Structure 1
Amino acid sequence: MKLKITLLIGLIAAAAVLAAACRPGATPEAKPYKETQFLMDTIVEMTAYGPDAENAVKAAFAEIKRLHGISDNFDPASQVSKINQAAGRAKVKADPDLIAMMLRANELADKLEGTFDVTVGPLTELWGIGRKGDFVPAQEDIDRVLPLVNYRLVAIDAAAGTVYLPKEGMKLDLGGIAKGYAVDKAIAILKSRGVSSALVNAGGDVRVIGKRPDGNPWRIGVQHPRNPDAIIAKLSLTDWDTMETSGDYQRYIMKDGVRFSHVLDPRTGRQPRGLASVTVALNNSADGDIFSTALLILGPERGLELLRQFPGVEAIMVAADGKVTLSPGLEGKAEIEK
């Protein structure tokens, strides 16, 4: 499903290029450098403009690859896996970037009612969405692992550079922050190398630099969660540079007519119901997936209440029946498709 998000971005960008070319006196866009790699379990695309764009993009990809290497809980050699393997036994040395991810995630988890939890690993492993066919765990199995899910128990010593999981069986899963964090680092590298116009799409984690070379803002489409070929909303990234979507249509199984997605409420061990997707617009990719996941779990009413604490973070919430709810800051700015 992430490929569909990529396609929607590409179609809107292509339309913008065509419109610009048809204007009287319009000048052709600068030639971009584009590269695609499969990293962090998704397709990552970069399009950058500038005299050193190619080298800038390659350096940005190298940084994403490095961060993937330390945060991938499916790689037994990664730092996250080593922390998980030492749960209940020992502290483990961790890269400063890994510690920064965890500290930021835990800070927001406190403010988002525990709807985002870096220790959700035992639950994601139990459900195994996408890896266990149409398996749905019994409630007794969920109840058994729930005591292992509690970000407040994690001992993070930033000064010593160590992380400790105090209970055997606890497991970190940084999938909800590592990708966005890596995109932020990639953007910083592109900017440091003189790139003033770029788009990075990491499987739906979209971040831009500046405007398109033709002077128009980057315009991104939001996929309809029940129609993979349709756009349900469009937004120009003028006040924000990041859009991130979480939904129940990206990885899921169907069993007995019920949809079970990969998004889990760490407080209950089960999937949230009601919302099919949440897209957030903000200026920080590392926070994007945290907010979109939390709002998907909380639902529109409680989600809008909590967003009042975070000026500059806006949301497009789509219910399973297609009803769209916008946060106040997007009223008149997001274009809703009928």
Structure 2
Amino acid sequence: MKKRIRQAAILFMAMLSLVSSGCSQTSADKPYKESRFLMDTLIEVTAYGPQAEKGVKEAFSEFERMYALADQYDPNSQISKVNQAAGSSKVAVDADIFAMVEESCQLAEKLEGTFDVSVGPLVELWGIGKKGEYIPSDLELANVLPLVNYKLIEIDKVNHTLFLPKKGMKLDLGGIAKGYAVDKAIAKLQAAGVKSALVNAGGTVRVIGSRPDGKPWRIGVQDPRKPDGVIAKVELAGWDTMETSGDYQRFIMKDNVRYAHIFDPRTGKQPRDMAAVTMIMNNASQGDIFSTALFVLGVERSLVMLKEFPGVEAIFVTLDGKVITSPGLAGKVE
């Protein structure tokens, strides 16, 4: 855990040095900052203005609330209750859990099933970071894959219930909960009257407005092979969200092969083309989904797919270190 905290802190400091460079602060511009370890990552919120402290504390209350609802490792969380009832009964859930599952399934259909919120059995089987160098066999994967299928999830919009029809099915909101919580935190900041802020939740970044000096927020994209390196820089002008998925965030090495925590839910195995995908857009919860899906799809298919989503852009870092951007970022990435 300490290693993950350190890596997240380095990434944020690298980004913060970029967003604040050249900005002379007056007393009115001084930020209120807080950082906490929640949702298995370091979350840092920086806000400006007279209501900054109030907004930041309310933002963290949202992170804590979402964590309590969506933590599949807490047997008392709502998502655990849904998993425990798989194959036996429907479970009424909070509006936020319902919204996350519904949005995940809707986007999964558009993203060719490369993101699947029912991936829980695969996550459990691989146990990246929890089982040492364990690599599941093809037979083990074949036994689990029938349990991974978002199309099987029964979503009752009238009664707000979820039902997993097969015993052993498990929802895992790790690919949406953090981004969704960021969006909720941003809403709290805005409700408090904050006009300038930056939220960083372990690589999911969303901003409010511009920097106190009126310039756009300028964010660095971490080099996936250099924990303290920046491989690209982007000004969030016209966008407010940057979200990265990479094979460097949680992984194991065995026989010089990297096995990351991102799986292709259709095969149960890790994609082998990408090192990282960074989304530039205006929705953190969807950014979480897109970065995972595009990591699985690879550059060529992703560039075709993005034509269907105006305003959604991506920066790809391939395994050999090439940086490729979607057309909408032409001339906007350093």
TM-score by length of 1: 0.95
**How far off is 1:148 after superposition?**
0.3
The DSSP-based 3-state class of the residue aligned with 1:211 is coil
1:180 is aligned to 2:183? no
Q: Match for residue 259 of structure 1? A: 258
Moved >6 Å (runs of 4+) = none
Question: Match of 2:71?
Answer: 72
CA deviation profile, 1:199-230 (whole Å, cap 9, x unmatched) = 00001000000011011211111111112221
- Letter in structure 1 aligned against 2:127: G
Deviations 1:97-142 (A, max 9, x none): 1000011111100000000001000000000001101100111000
- Which digits, 9 at most, give the CA deviation of each residue in 1:276-316, with x for residues without a partner? 00000000001011101111101000010000000010000
Which residue number in structure 1 is paired with residue 223 of structure 2?
A: 224
SS of residue paired to 2:173: coil
- Distance of 1:297 and 1:116 partners within structure 2: 8
1:88 aligns with 2:87: yes
Distance 2:204 2:75 in 1: 25
- Structure 1 CA distance, aligned partners of 2:274 and 2:21? 35
Pair 1:310-2:313 in alignment: no
- Report the counterpart of residue 238 of structure 1 in structure 2: 237
Structure 1, 135-144 or 156-165: larger mean CA deviation: 156-165
1:19 correspondence with 2:22 = yes
**Is this contact kept in 2: 1:29–1:213, CA < 8 A?**
no
Distance in 1 between the 2:9 and 2:197 partners? 15
Q: Which residue of the partner structure matches residue 10 of structure 2?
A: 7
2:77 maps to a residue whose letter is: S
The match for 1:276 is 275
Cα distance in 1 for partners of 2:15, 2:28 equals: 15
Q: Please list every run of 5 or more consecutive structure 1 residues that lacks an aligned counterpart in the other structure.
A: none
Matches of 2:48 and 2:289 in 1, distance apart?
29
After superposition, residues 29-178 of structure 1 pair within 5 angstroms as 30-178=29-177
CA distance in 1, matches of 2:276, 2:321: 10
Q: Which range is displaced more, 61-70 or 124-133?
A: 61-70
Instruction: Check conservation: 1:277, 1:318, Cα contact below 8 A.
Output: yes
**SS of residue matched to 1:99:** helix
Contact 1:13 1:218 in 2 (8 A): no
User: 1:69-92: per-residue Cα shift (whole Å, max 9, x none)?
Assistant: 111101000011011000000001
TM-aligned CA deviation for residue 12 of structure 1: 4.5
- 1:289/1:154 CA distance change after superposition, 3 Å: same
Q: Structure 1: how far apart are the matches of 2:202 and 2:19?
A: 21
Name the CA distance, whole Å, in 1 between partners of 2:193 and 2:120.
39
Between the two proteins, the alignment pairs up a number of residues equal to 331
SS in structure 1 opposite 2:332?
Answer: coil
Paired with 2:95 and 2:72, the residues of 1 have a C-alpha distance of 17
Percent identity between the aligned chains?
A: 61
